[in-house]
Amino acid sequence: MNKEVTHCLLCERELQQVITWQTLFERSWPPVICERCEAKFERTHYTTEELTTIFYYNDAMKNFLRQYKFSQDIILAKVFRQELNKLLRNRSETIVPIPMNPLKKKERTFAHIDELLHAAEIPYEHLLEKTTTETQVGKSKLQRQQVAPLFSCTKELAAKHYILIDDIVTTGTTIAHAKKALLDAGAESVTAIVLIKG
Amino acid sequence: MQRRTKKAHYLGLLLHPSAIHSMIGRIMRREDLPYTSKLINLYIERGLLKTQPAISTIQGLLKTHFRCERCLNTQSEKFIHFHCAKCEQVCTYCRHCITMGRIASCTQLLTWAGPSPQHPKKHQFSWTSTLTELQQHASLELAASIQQKRQHLLHAVCGAGKTEILFQPIYNALQKGFRICVATPRTDVVLELAPRLQKVFPTTMIHVLYGGAPEQQSYAQLVIATTHQLYRFAKAFDVMIVDEADAFPYTFDESLQKAVYKAKKPDAPITFVTATPSSKLLKQRDGYSFLPRRYHNHPLPVPRFQSLWRYKRQFKKDKLPKQLRQWVEQRIEAKQPFLIFFPTIEMLEQALPLFSPNILGVHAEDPTRKEKILKLRNAEIQGLLTTTILERGITIANLQVAVVGAENPIFTASALIQIAGRVGRDEQYPTGDIIFFHHGISLEMDLAKQEIQRLNEVANE
Ligand SMILES: [Zn+2]
Ligand SMILES: [Zn+2]
Ligand SMILES: [Zn+2]
């Protein structure tokens, strides 16, 4: 499926074909970025009961996000599919991506969180919608927490346990609001896995 | 009565002439135009803006082929298919030109189809130096080729003063009201050319285009651009000059070559300028000027070969090979600025910590490249380690040059000739050291040395 990626998606150098042993229980894809680019991403090893993050927001990650979201280079969703797959594949909770504003999604032509999960072959369900189009930029942490709820549930909840997925966490307000919306709708537990710790 | 109000309404919407000027010869994404949809539609209805889909599909026998209408790329691996939330179907985007703003199947491309303005014919030509006899001769030949709309190859050794040869033919073309493009594959060459041309043509509107360059409005009669930036143009130029026409990636990326032809008007002549023409360029030439001698009449420095056995292993062990260390010490002792070329970024990064902190490294992805070169020129640092990115366009007085791993296939004969051509360019310091450190002499190294010696002989005849 991935044979067409012969050059690093980030720096265009030719990819060395590495032969890896694929075990019976682990999904493994051939790499889409070179070792040199991969080494530039810095892992956080950050896991609490509530939140797991995978990478720090360093220069390499900043460039990645700019190219993925701003330049709309959707194929970059494949860069972190191995990590996301590994973390999520055996989870029994329902996976819920943080939703995008529908107008913003149309403008960007894709929902970046959904595409990350899609590339990692992780099934997910949209259960939230944004209640306001106001952005958080320019507001203090206190202001953000005081504003009206950012999300509401779109459906009656069928499951009890949930994992929220987002691309980047800074103050944690987005995750907190999403979590509250799910808990208010009857969820028993809500944790979060976020690609980048800002 | 109703008609009249409608007309008045339309007139109120009309674009300012300067807005139109900045669209001429350009291929634009609809969403990049800062006008309302209503206004754009009006111009389309009136036939003043032409629309075309960004990605065209050609139905083949077994599969569908794609072509990007901006960069003319057709490589299938550069097209990404996805479910698009905007057009709500499977959509395709081109990765090859994505740095200029992504274009996909549902992107509309626009070109100006209305009348073109009269270009100013009055230009100031502030150039007082004189050409050598050889330069003068080549300049006249080139001007004649452009006049007759003929393709021309200007074959001039490194340091022959090829840029000065272009001044008079460019001035002639400007006076005729022609629009001229000087394109080159290398950003460094654009940055070196632009201030020189602006100085010679101080009243001419010049646009300088390269990846990351500031947005430039209005209309420029003279455009200096990387060949990449030509993706943005269609049928724009009356005269096309391609400088360093054999440099990477131009010769390897077919879409860049197509872009040169797409950006010029169909009957506009092309001039190719290079010190190391490929056999293909030599064959397809129409007009031809050859300058085997440097402007200061001194011969080209001939490279010397020095073995540097197992240098890769030594770098890996954090050891600076002895002969290389001695060479660097001699340069520092003599206070001579120097460049050391490496075949790969990896090796450069491995070697860099082994040198003194007063020696920096540059490579293609380095955003501070310009500043580092300036530091070397201003003697704020002693030397630079570099990849082949600096093989062209750089001129620093009294520069000394070493190549590490000269036998690596990335150092083709023409790359080595260009690298050697960095040395002895200044009239005050017409000689200098050019040394190829190697682990075994390659055919390309031999070819480079032979060609330099041959050119020196021809120049003496
Ligand atoms: Zn890479
Ligand atoms: Zn689309
Ligand atoms: Zn393209």
Instruction: Give the residue extent of every domain in chain B.
Output: 2-112, 133-291, 304-460
Q: Do B80 and A74 touch (CB under 8 A)?
A: yes
What band does B341 get if pLDDT is binned at 50, 70 and 90? very high
Strand partners, A162: A94, A190
Q: How far apart are CA B368 and CA B364, in angstroms?
A: 10
Q: How far apart are CA B237 and CA B25, in angstroms?
A: 8
Just give the CATH number of B133-291.
Answer: 3.40.50.300
Q: Give the CA distances from residue B14 to residues B5, B45, B115, B118, B147, in Å, rounded to whole numbers and listed in that order.
A: 15, 13, 15, 20, 37
> For the segment B139-153, what is each residue's pLDDT rounded down to a tens digit?
999 999 999 999 999
Q: Which residues of B touch A11 (CB under 8 A)?
A: 365
Domain that holds residue A112: 42-197
Residue of A nearest to B85 (CA): A109
> For the whole model, what pTM was predicted?
0.85
Interface pTM (ipTM) of the complex? Answer: 0.89
The answer to whether residue A13 is domain-embedded is no
Question: Residue A87's domain is classified under what CATH number?
Answer: 3.40.50
CA quadruple B59, B63, B65, B66: dihedral sign: positive
Q: How far apart are CA B281 and CA B303, in angstroms?
A: 25
Residue B9 has pLDDT above 60, yes or no: no
Least confident of A10-19, B7-16, B264-273: B7-16
The answer to whether residue A9 is domain-embedded is no
> For the segment B167-224, what is each residue's pLDDT rounded down to a tens digit?
999 999 999 999 999 999 988 889 889 999 999 999 999 999 998 888 887 889 999 9
B304-460 classified as CATH 3.40.50.300: yes
Which tokens belong to B350?
A: 């491995």
Average pLDDT, chain B: 92
Q: How far apart are CA A91 and CA B212, in angstroms?
A: 44
State how beta strands B28-29 and B108-112 pair. antiparallel
Low-confidence residues in chain A, pLDDT < 70: 1-4, 17-26, 132-147
CA of B100 to the centre of ligand 3 (A): 9
Residue B285: its pLDDT value, please? 78
The answer to whether residue A46 is domain-embedded is yes
Window A:92-131, CB contacts with B under 8 Å:
105-111, 115
The answer to whether residue A125 is domain-embedded is yes
Residue A2: its pLDDT value, please? 43
Residue B68 has pLDDT above 90, yes or no: yes
User: Where is B10: in which H helix or E strand?
Assistant: helix B2-13
Looking at this protein, which amino acid is placed at residue B210?
A: Y
Q: Give the CA distances from residue B256 to residues B183, B227, B271, in Å, rounded to whole numbers and listed in that order.
A: 11, 6, 16
Distance from CA of A47 to the nearest CA of B (A): 33
SS3 sequence of B424-445: CCCCCCCCCCEEEEECCCCHHH
The reply to whether domains B133-291 and B304-460 share a CATH topology is yes
B63 interface with A at CB cutoff 8 Å: no
CA of B273 to the centre of ligand 1 (A): 33
Q: Which of A11, A73, A111 sits opposite B95 (nearest CB)?
A: A73
CA of A26 to the centre of ligand 2 (A): 34
B68 DSSP 8-state letter: E
Residue of A nearest to B83 (CA): A110
Number of domains into which chain A is organized: 1
Q: Which residues of A touch B84 (CB under 8 A)?
A: 109-110
> For the segment B347-402, what is each residue's pLDDT rounded down to a tens digit?
999 999 999 999 999 988 788 888 999 999 999 999 999 999 888 878 899 999 99
3-state SS of chain B: helix, strand, coil percent to 5?
35, 20, 45
Residue B3 has pLDDT above 90, yes or no: no
> For the segment B212-255, what is each residue's pLDDT rounded down to a tens digit?
888 887 889 999 999 999 999 999 999 999 999 888 888 888 89
A35 interface with B at CB cutoff 8 Å: no
The answer to whether residue A158 is domain-embedded is yes
The answer to whether residue A4 is domain-embedded is no
Q: Give the CA distances from residue B228 to residues A13, A149, B232, in Å, rounded to whole numbers and listed in that order.
A: 18, 47, 8
Mean pLDDT computed over B260-270: 96
What band does B2 get if pLDDT is binned at 50, 70 and 90? very low
A38 interface with B at CB cutoff 8 Å: no
Residue B12 has pLDDT above 60, yes or no: no
What band does B8 get if pLDDT is binned at 50, 70 and 90? very low
Q: Which of B76, B77, B82 sits opposite A110 (nearest CB)?
A: B82
What band does B13 get if pLDDT is binned at 50, 70 and 90? low
Residue B7: its pLDDT value, please? 43
CA of B85 to the centre of ligand 2 (A): 7
Q: Do A109 and B76 touch (CB under 8 A)?
A: no
